[in-house]
Chain A
Amino acid sequence: AQKVTQAQTEISVVEKEDVTLDCVYETRDTTYYLFWYKQPPSGELVFLIRRNSFDEQNEISGRYSWNFQKSTSSFNFTITASQVVDSAVYFCALSEAAGTASKLTFGTGTRLQVTL
Chain B
Amino acid sequence: KAGVTQTPRYLIKTRGQQVTLSCSPISGHRSVSWYQQTPGQGLQFLFEYFSETQRNKGNFPGRFSGRQFSNSRSEMNVSTLELGDSALYLCASSPTGGAGDTQYFGPGTRLTVL
Asked if A and B are interacting partners, one says no
Give B contacts to A, CB under 8 Å.
Answer: none
Give A contacts to B, CB under 8 Å.
Answer: none
